[in-house]
Amino acid sequence: MISKELLCEVLNVKNRFKCDILSIKINDNFLFYKLNRIKNPTKRINIHQLADKCKEWAWDKFQIDILIIKDGVKLDANHWRRNVYLQKNGKTIHFFGSHSNDIPFHNDNIAMVKACQWILDEEIKILIKSLYY
């Protein structure tokens, strides 16, 4: 669901610019993560809070707004399909959802985290390109 790198970025859990998270586990509505520390190595965060922090991170670092819209298609009795739009300066820069090859999301929190993971992955690609050109 979320990479160690994204969790480090979103929660600002670094030690000398290196990710300080050893492992991640999801149980019910909580994400547990183990830090490379002697005191208090295991922490937890509510999935809803994590999604909110991801959205704040995307805006604060890149000025990217993440919009999640239910498109009216029911996936099952309890879930609606969602479309996710990443926008910068009012223009859509990426789309996840029913008109793309991505799996439709049935949960706003998963959609938010996946959108932020895409942003981080794209940022890493840009950084790598800049090293070689």
Q: What is the mean pLDDT of the chain?
A: 85
**The predicted structure's pLDDT at residue 37:** 83
Which parts of the chain fold into alpha helices (H)? Answer: 4-11, 47-62, 108-132
Q: What is the pLDDT of residues 37-94, one digit of tens each?
A: 888 899 999 999 999 999 999 999 999 999 988 776 666 666 677 788 899 998 998 8
pLDDT at 106 over 80: no
Q: Who wins on pLDDT, 106 or 47?
A: 47
Q: What angle do CA 55, 15, 128 make, to 5 degrees?
A: 65
**What residues contact residue 97 under an 8 Å CB cut-off, 6+ apart?**
71, 81, 82, 83, 84, 104, 105
Give one DSSP letter per residue of 36-53, joined into a string.
S-SSS-EEEEEHHHHHHH
